[in-house]
Amino acid sequence: MNTVARKNQQILLGEDYILVWVEAFLKERKAQNLTKGTIKYYRTNLKTFTDFLEGQEIKFISQITASTVRDFLLILEERGHNPGGVHGHFRAVKAFLKWYWEEEEPDYPNPVNKIKAPRVPQESIQGVTREEFDALLSECGNDFLGERDRAILKVLYDTGVRADELCNIRLDDLNLVDNSIFILQGKGRKPRMVFFGKSTKKQIRKYISFRGVEGSYLFITRSMDKLDYPALRQIVRRLNTKADLHEIGLHDFRRALCLNLLQAGVPEITIARLMGHTTTQLIGRYAKQSTSDLGNSYRSPLDE
C-alpha cells in the first residue's frame, strides 16, 4: 500500500486505526533491513495483540489503555504462555506503541509507559551434558542421513551456532584448514567466525564424502534441498526420543558451549564474540549455574 492509499484508508477508518498502523510499523522495520526472524517476531506477536483487541471491540489506538495491555498480558498467562513468551509479546507491543507515538505525536500519553515489563525468572538454562550428547550421537545411523545428523550435532555442540545460522552455512563458508566457519549473518546481521575441533572436522569430512560437493549449503536433505529450521528441530526431537532423553532444545547446545568454555578458563569477552554477542551481559544468563553445576565445580581447599 502506497502512502496516498494508506492515508485514504486512515481517513475512511479513522486516523489511528490499529491494523493500518501495525502494517506501517512492519514496513518501517523491513526498511531498517532487520532480519526475517525479527520481522516474523513482530508480525506474530502483534497479530496476537490485534486479535485480542478485536475481541474487546477495540479498533483504534486511542482506545488502548494501560488496563488493556495488562489484560492482554494476563490472557497470555491464562493461555499457558511461559514468562519469556509473555515478556516477548510485551516487548513487541511496547516497540509498536513507542514507534506510533514518535510518528504521530498524539496529544495523550502512551499507555505502555505506565506498565512495568513482566518479570522473567532467571532460572538456570539446562544445557546438553556430555553424556546426553554422546547418547544422541549413538542414535545416528551410518548412512547419508546418519552421518549428516552426527555432523550437525557436533557442529552445534562445538561451535554454539544458532539454529538458523547452522541452516545457512554454505560450503564456501567452511574452512577445513583452520577449522573455522564464517557466519555471514548472525543475529542483527552481524558476521563472525566460529571454530571447531578435530573430532568435528573428521565428522564433517565423513559427511561430505557422502554428500558430495554439489549445491550451495552444507547441510541438505536427501533430495539436495537446503535443510530448514523445522527439519533441523525434528532431527533433534527424533534423536531425543530414540535416546529416551528429556526434551533437548536446539538452543541448549549454545549454553553447553558457554559452560564448557567458561570451565576451560576462556575469557567472557572471547566467549561473547564466539557466540555472536556484542557484550558479556548475556553470558551470565547462559552460565547461570544450577545446584548440580555448582557441586560439580566445587573443590575443597582442604583436599588440595
pLDDT per position as a tens digit, 72-98: 999 999 998 888 889 999 999 999 999
Domain edges within the chain: 3-114, 130-293
Same fold flag, 3-114 and 130-293 = no
pTM of the model: 0.63
Looking at every residue in the chain, the average pLDDT score rounds to 86
Task: Determine the pLDDT at residue 11.
Answer: 41
* The C-alpha cell that represents 266 in the structure block: 576462556
**Sign (positive/negative) of CA torsion 95, 97, 99, 102?**
negative
The SS3 call for residue 266 is: coil
CA distance 131 to 129: 5
Name the more confident of 128 and 217.
217
The CATH H-level superfamily of 130-293 is Intergrase catalytic core (1.10.443.10)
pLDDT at 7: 47
Which residues are 174's β-sheet partners?
Answer: 181
| Residue that the C-alpha cell 546438553 belongs to | 128
Q: pLDDT band at residue 220, thresholds of 50, 70 and 90? A: very high
Task: Name the CATH topology of 3-114.
Answer: DNA polymerase; domain 1 (1.10.150)
**Taking Cα atoms as reference points, which of 157, 164, 165 lies closest to residue 256?**
157
What are 226's strand-pairing partners? Answer: 220
What's the pLDDT band for 12 if we cut at 50, 70, 90? very low
Q: Which of 20-34, 245-259, 269-283 has the highest mean pLDDT?
A: 20-34
- Is the pLDDT at 291 greater than 50, yes or no? no
Least confident of 19-28, 164-173, 236-245, 285-294: 285-294
pLDDT exceeds cutoff 90 at 13? no
Is 258:286 a contact under the CB 8 Å cutoff?
Answer: yes
Q: How many residues in total does the chain contain?
A: 304
Distance CA 184, CA 230 (A): 21
CA distance 14 to 20: 10
Q: What pLDDT is attached to residue 126? A: 63
Indicate the SS3 state at residue 26: helix
Task: State the pLDDT confidence band at 10, using cuts at 50, 70 and 90.
Answer: very low
Ramachandran angles phi, psi of 181, nearest 5°: -130, 130
